[in-house]
Chains A and B, each alone.
Chain A
C-alpha cells in the first residue's frame, strides 16, 4: 500500500506534463476503451479512486494506480495495482495493447489487449478486442469484447462526444452499456484536460444491484 501511495504522489508531482482527454482508457473512468494505444515514447501514470455500493452490503472504497508505456509504435504495456477495502485483496494486472490500424473511411480503428490479472494465488487472463468508429462528425462509437479465462464474455458499447466544440476543446463525455452473464449496466463519465498533459476524469456506473463512483487523474510524460 505504501508503494501505491508513493507512486500516486509521483503522479501528482508531475502535473505539468501529460495525457489527452480524447483517449479512452479502461477504468478512466468507465470500462470502455478505444482502439488506440498511447503514443510511442509516452509514459503515463493514472491514479483513480472509487466507491462501490451494493444492495444490502457495506460500501467499499478502492484505489487503482497504473503505469503505461508506449514502447513501440502502436503498442504499449501497462502494469496496474488495484486495492479495494475493506476485505479485498490487492489485484495486480499486466497488459499489452496493440493498435492494428487507424480508422479510415472504409473501416474502424482496431486494437486488442492481452492482460493477466493476479489476485492472491488466482490468476486469469483476458483478451479484449476494441474497435472505434466515428459517428456523425465528432462523436465516436466504441465496441469492446472481453474474453476471460475465468469469467463470462463481456460486451461493451461505448460512446464518446466532445463537449463545447467548436469553442472549447478540453472535455469529452463518455457513455457505455455493458452486458455480462446476461446482466447489463450503464455508465456515464467525463474526461477533462486540466493542464498541458494532465486529465481529470469522473464517472458513475449502475446496474446489477451495484453502483460505482469513480474519479481519477492521468498524467503523461
Chain B
C-alpha cells in the first residue's frame, strides 16, 4: 500500500479525534512500574500449578503477537507467530513472565498502554490469589477484594468499573479488522480472555479443596476448544463466564471487560494498514482514554445516554456487564447460546431468586448459565454433550455444592453426603421443590420445618442423576436474529 493511499485512506475513514482532557501521563516517558498490594495471599494461585502456568502463558501470547505486529511481521502472524505462541501455551512457563521483556519493541512504542495492561493484570491475579487463600472466611475475602479494587483505582492507569456499551466500543473504523484478518491469533486472544474470566466462578465462595477439582474440566475446554475457537462472534464477557462473580463484584467484572475491549481496540488499530505509525499511537491513546476511570468520573451505573461513550446501562439482573450489540435491558445475545435474559433462569425462563437461594450455575462447552434450581442445572447440562460443572447453593450459605460430570454424564460431588429434594411440580416454584442439602440430617431438618414435603424422599446423588424432566414448558425462546451475522440467527 502506497504512502499516499495510507494518508488518503486514513483521512477518509473518520477516525476518533483526540479529546481535550487527555491525561498528561499518556504522553509521559516515565516508567512508573508498580508493585502489587503486599499481602499474605499473593501467589496463592500456585496452589493449582496447572492453572497458574496457564495464566502465566496468557501474558506471553499477548506480548508475542503485539511484538510481531509492531515489528512489521503481521504477514507471519497466522503462521510462525501463531505456532510459537501455541508451543508456549502447550508448554506454559513455571514462573510469571515480564510481558515487557517479551515485547520490548511494543513497550518502547506503547509504554503508556503497557502501564494500563500491567496494572489491570495485577488486579486479575490478586483477586484470584484472594479467592485461593486458605484460612480466610468468605466475608474476609470479599472485604479484601473490595480493598483491592480501591487499591487498583488509586492509580491513574485504572480502567473504569462502569458498564460500557460494547457496541459503541466496537464500532470504530478499524473495529473488527484484527479478528477478520488474523482469526487464529484472535482466537488465542479470546481464549486467554475466556480463561481469565471463567476462573472467578470456579474460585469464588468455593472451598479451597474444591477449586482444584474443577480445573481439569476448565483446562480441557481451554486447551482443546477455546484457544482455537474461530467461530466466536464477540470476545468472552466476564458475566457470561462467571456470572456469580460479576453480580457480586460488578465494578471488577466491568473493568476486566473494558480491559479486554481495549485489547481488541488495540489489536484492530495495530492491524489497520491504512494508519501511519503516528496515527496508531494517537488512536491507542484515545482508546485508552475511552475506558479510563478518570474519563467517567461522577458517572453512575445504569445511567447515561444510549449508544454513547457514556452509556452505562446494563442488562437487567447483571450490573457486571455493559450493553451488548443489538441488546437492550431485557435481552442480550450470547455466543453459543443465542438470545437470553440475564435476570431469568436460562432453563425455565422464570425470574432468578436473589440472596442465599441463588440457585445454581451450569458450565458446559465453554458457556456458563445461571439457573434457578439443581433440577434446572442437571437437565440443562444433560442437553449438552461432554463434561460439565454445576455449582449450586445448599441450605448452608457457606457450603457450595460442586458437581462435575464426565463425558457420559456421570456426576461426582464434593460432598459425600449430599442429598436432594426433588418433588416435581410447577416450574414457577421450582426453587422451592428442587434443592440440594449437605447431608440427610440437613434434609430432615428442612422437612420438619416444611411439612408440605413430609412425604418427599431424600434422593442420593445416584438417584437424582437418573432424573430428567426435559425442556420445561415455561421456557421462552427469544427469537431474534443474530446481531453479529447480518440478521441470520
Contacts and interface: CB of A to CB of B under 8 A. Distances in A.
B30 A39 contact: no
Interface string A192-221: 011111000000000000000000000011
Contacts of A137: 67, 71, 104-105
A104 B104 contact: no
Nearest to A196: B43
Interface string B6-47: 000000000000000000000001111111111000110010
A109 B105 contact: no
How big is chain B's contact interface, by range?
20 to 34
B31 A102 contact: yes
Contacts of A138: 101, 104
A73 B101 contact: no
Interface in B65-102: 67, 71, 84, 87-88, 91, 93-98, 101-102
Contacts of B121: none
A197 B91 CA distance: 20
A134 interface: yes
Given A73-B30, A74-B30, A101-B29, A17 B42 contact: yes
Interface in B233-268: none
Interface stretch (A59-67, A147-155, A159-167): A159-167
Interface residue tally on A, bucketed by range: 35 or more
A101 B29 CA distance: 6
Contact of A36 (B33, B38, B96): B33
B122 to A, nearest CB: 10
Given A37-B33, A74-B31, A104-B108, A167 B95 contact: no
Contacts of A109: 31
A70 B35 contact: yes
B198 interface: no
B332 interface: no
A42 interface: yes
A5 interface: no
A16 B44 CA distance: 10
Contact of A134 (B88, B93, B96, B104): B104
Contacts of A107: 29
B83 to A, nearest CB: 10
B295 to A, nearest CB: 21
A78 to B, nearest CB: 15
A169 interface: yes
Contacts of B187: none
A40 interface: yes
A196 B96 contact: yes
A40 B32 contact: yes
B34 A165 contact: no
A184 interface: no
A168 interface: yes
A39 B36 CA distance: 9
A105 B109 contact: yes
B156 to A, nearest CB: 11
A49 B29 CA distance: 37
Contact of A103 (B64, B88, B108): B108
Give the interface centre of B35, B71, B91, B109 by most chain A CB atoms within 10 Å: B35
B164 interface: no
A22 B94 contact: no
B145 interface: no
Nearest to A73: B32
A74 B64 CA distance: 26
A89 interface: no
A169 B93 contact: yes
Contacts of A220: 35
B207 interface: no
B93 A170 contact: yes
A73 B29 CA distance: 13
Interface of B: 29-38, 42-43, 46, 60, 64, 67, 71, 84, 87-88, 91, 93-98, 101-102, 104-105, 108-109, 111
The 7 closest A-B pairs by CB, nearest first: A42-B35, A41-B35, A39-B33, A39-B35, A102-B31, A169-B97, A101-B29
Interface of A: 16-17, 20, 22, 36-43, 70, 73-74, 99, 101-105, 107, 109, 134, 137-138, 162, 165-170, 193-197, 220-221
17 contacts: A22-B98, A39-B34, A40-B32, A41-B36, A41-B38, A70-B33, A73-B33, A99-B30, A102-B31, A104-B108, A134-B104, A137-B105, A166-B64, A168-B93, A169-B93, A169-B95, A169-B102
